[in-house]
Structures are given as C-alpha cells and as structure tokens.
Amino acid sequence: MLDYLLRPLRLFAQSLIGDDSPRRVAWGFTLGMLVGMLPKGNILAIVLGMLLFGLAVNKSAGLLAVGLFSLLAPLWDGFAHAVGSSLLSAPALQSTFAAIYQMPLGPLTGLTNTVVLGQLLIGLYLLYPAYLAAWHAAAKIRPRIAKWLLGYRVIRWLKGAEIGAQLGLQG
C-alpha cells in the first residue's frame, strides 16, 4: 500500500538523481513539449503521448514539459492561429488538406484546425532548439542538483525505497 502512495515521489526523485543519459532526458522533454503545445482533442496529441510513454525517454521530464507547455501554449494561440490559417488558405496546399480530411482518420487529426496546425508547426520549429537546451540542462545542471538532493535523508530514503521495491521488499 505504501508503495503505491510513494511511487510518484520515488519516480520524481529518480528522474532528478537517476542515471538517465542527457539524451533521454532531452528527448523526453522535447516530446513532452510537443504534446503540451498541441490542443488535446485530436489524434496527434494522443499519438505523441503514446510515443512519450512508449519510447525509452525520461518520462518525468516529458510530463514536466507537458504540464509547462500546456499552461504556456494558450499564450501564443493567436500566433498559432495566424500561422495555421496562412498555411490552410494557401491555394497550393488546399487539395492536400482536402485529401487528408477525406481519409478515414483525417478529421480526427485536427490538421484542418488552424490552431492545431499552427501549434504543430511552431512545435516542430522549436524541436531542435528545445532538444539542445534540455540536453545542456541535463548534462550540466542535473549532476549538481542530484548531488545537492542526495544530501537530504528523505531523498536517499526514497531512492532506497525504489531499490527495495524492485527487490520485492515491500512492507
């Protein structure tokens, strides 16, 4: 019972002091950024969320980015609407978007929504810079944070509880 209550805290502590590579942390953050930026009522957000949980990336960094960018994304919805509207109204691409909409799951992708398309394009544009920033943060700052956090008894206890849970020593 205690294992289920402490599991979120252990996972959070493990994400900060764990031995994930900076690449895994950066990819988790980047996928989380894409999920957080997209409006959630479409298949694109669901597929990206499944990728976040299905790939070998840091899920804690991804969930942190989902929460952060879900709060920040409405601030640039106007810009995303302008970007998506300009792309959807381009005469050369209208037949492409019409063909996507006629596909069986086409309407569920939300690509005919200006905000969804705009947020997707902004997210894809920011993908590489966000990856680099997250990689540098994970490589430079994370070891210092881990060293500082391991000075606290509760973090060492949570880390030990994670090891005990993996060994089947649940009480």
Return averaged pLDDT per consecutive 10 residues of the chain, 171 residues in all.
68 68 93 95 93 91 92 94 95 91 90 93 96 93 78 72 52 46
Residue 76 lies in a domain: yes
Q: What is the pTM of this model?
A: 0.79
Cα gap 112→102, rounded to integer Å: 11
Residue 103 lies in a domain: yes
Cα gap 41→135, rounded to integer Å: 30
Structural domains counted in the chain: 1
Confirm if 3 and 166 have CB atoms less than 8 A apart: no
Confirm if 16 and 142 have CB atoms less than 8 A apart: yes
Place of tokens 């942190």: 64
Q: Which domain holds residue 115?
A: 2-166
Q: What is the CA radius of gyration of the chain?
A: 20
Residue 171 lies in a domain: no
The pLDDT of residue 171 is: 46
23: CB partners within 8 A, 6+ apart:
135
Residue 38 lies in a domain: yes
Neighbours of 124 (CB within 10 A): 11
The pLDDT of residue 169 is: 45
